Each structure stands twice: as structure tokens, then as C-alpha cells.
Amino acid sequence: MGKADDPDRGVELLWGERSALTLERIVGAAVEVADAEGLAGLSMRKVAERLDFTTMSLYRHVPGRDHLVDLMRDAVLGEPPPAIPGGGWRARLEAFARLAWELRKRHPWLAELRGNRHLPGPNAMAHYEHALAILADTALAPAEVVAAVGLVGRFVDAEALALVEAAQVERTTGLSDEEWWGARDTLFARFDRYPVVSGLWEAGGFDQSVAPFEFGLARLLDGIEILVRQRDVKRDETCRVCGNPVEQPASGRPRAYCSRGCQQRAYRSRKSN
């Protein structure tokens, strides 16, 4: 009796638990593969094997690997984040950067996504919208808001990618970076001709007592804060109506308008609204 005539198989199909293939299951399995093996190890075949389906069955739901990666990115960006504290823009932007950092430690392959042509989904857009909103109410120009958020995002990706590359090399060689460099005595013996390098080495400058992510994030936020303060000063020194310079009094309340006429125009505008 062939399989087509097997009654037990018929019972299993009719009464057994049916395993429906859905887009959500495909994306979830793909995330698991990428978490374990990186983007280099991600393939439609491996995702299909994890789900116990044929590769061709996946293509009925996802046109190809690139589309799948976009779906994966949007799925993990939709994971419930921890509460971001209130306060000023710096505290909120720092919390946002740390959230992105932790997300990339859970899903290292996010840092491997290069280029600007990955289609954003609703979760990715909400993620970006939140980041922009943190700086949108500061004195930064619109282009500076976008540039600052992009700078923070690229920094987080660069630091996460360094972890990914270190892990890949360690898997390939069986040695950590510390173990590999620790065996380079023949190289270090030639460093005497470089007094600055040697001096910093002997003083412990290469011991990495400073965490790269912590150091870089703090310096990055310092730079953005300086720019915000500069823009605040510039905004305070120009007329809110016409943009001309405002001559501030030596003492007393600062002026917001360059003339009585601009002050009256501002008053009439507020009254009409």
C-alpha cells in the first residue's frame, strides 16, 4: 500500500495539528537564524528547514531574501522597548542610543545592514520618528536635527559592528582579540622606535579601561550639546518676527524683538490666533 492510500496518514492530516505557514512565522524563524549565524548565514533554505517546509513554499509569502531582511528589521524594531525617561533632550537621546545598542546586542545582524536602500516599515518609521522628536524642539535647524540623529545611529551601528566582527574572527580562529594580541611579543619588541606608542602602552593606555561605547556616546552627546547651546544663543539674539539682530540691554529682562513694531506685530498675530 502506497503513501497515497495510507489511512493512518489520512487520519493524521484530518485530525492532527495543522502547521500553517504564515509570514509572521517565516520572519520569526529568519530572525532566529540571523541571531545565531549573522546575515552571512541567512538563507531561504535554512529558514525553510527550521520551519520544516520546502524552500519554494516560502516564496509564496516572501519574494526573496532582501524583502525578508527588511521584514526582519521591522519586526525586531517593534519589540517592546523599556520605558525611556523624561527630562531634557540629552537624557532622552542617551536613553534612545542605549536602547538601540541593547537591541543590536540581541540582534547583532542589525549592524550588518549597510546602505540607505532598506525599505522602512511602520516600526522602523516609528523608531526614527521618536528619535527625531527628541531634538525637533531644540534650537537646531531641521537639517541639523536629521544629521544629529543620523550621527548617533551610525555611531551605535559602528560600535555594534565592531562586536560582530570580533565575534566572527573569534569563531574562525578560536582566539579572542586579547589572546591573539597577547601572543604578539615579537611585534611589541619592535615598538621602542615609537616613543608615544610605547609611553602610552607602558602607562596602561591600551588596557581599555574605558569602554568604547560609553566613551564615544558621551563625547558625541557633548558635541551635540555644544551645538544646541550655540543655536540657543543665536536664537535669543535674533528677533522672533523678522530675524534681525536684537540689541540686548545691559541688565533687566532680555528682549525678544528688535523694535516696537515687531513686538506689536507679534502681539496682533497671537491675538488673531
DSSP 8-state code for residue 118:
P
Between 3.30.2130.10, 2.120.10.30, 1.10.3720.10, 1.10.357.10, what CATH number should domain 89-236 receive?
A: 1.10.357.10
CA dist 42 → 55, 105, 223 (Å): 13, 18, 38
Tell me the per-residue pLDDT of 213-241, one tens digit each, with 9 for 90 and over.
Answer: 999 999 999 999 999 988 876 655 667 67
- Determine contact, residues 126/86, Cβ cutoff 8 Å: no
- Helix 65-77, helix 89-106: angle, nearest 10: 130
The residues spanned by each domain of the chain are 1-77, 89-236, 237-272
If we measure between CA atoms, which residue out of 212, 104, 112, 102 comes closest to residue 168? Answer: 112
Tell me the per-residue pLDDT of 136-173, one tens digit each, with 9 for 90 and over.
Answer: 988 888 899 999 999 999 999 999 998 888 888 888 88
- Determine contact, residues 162/108, Cβ cutoff 8 Å: no
- Residue 107 pLDDT: 94
Between 1.10.10.60, 1.20.1070.10, 3.40.50.300, 1.10.1370.30, what CATH number should domain 1-77 receive?
A: 1.10.10.60
pTM for the structure as a whole? 0.72
Side-chain half-sphere CA neighbours of 180 within 13 A = 11
**More confidently predicted of 99 and 6:** 99
**More confidently predicted of 241 and 100:** 100
CA dist 146 → 76, 103, 221, 231 (Å): 23, 21, 15, 15
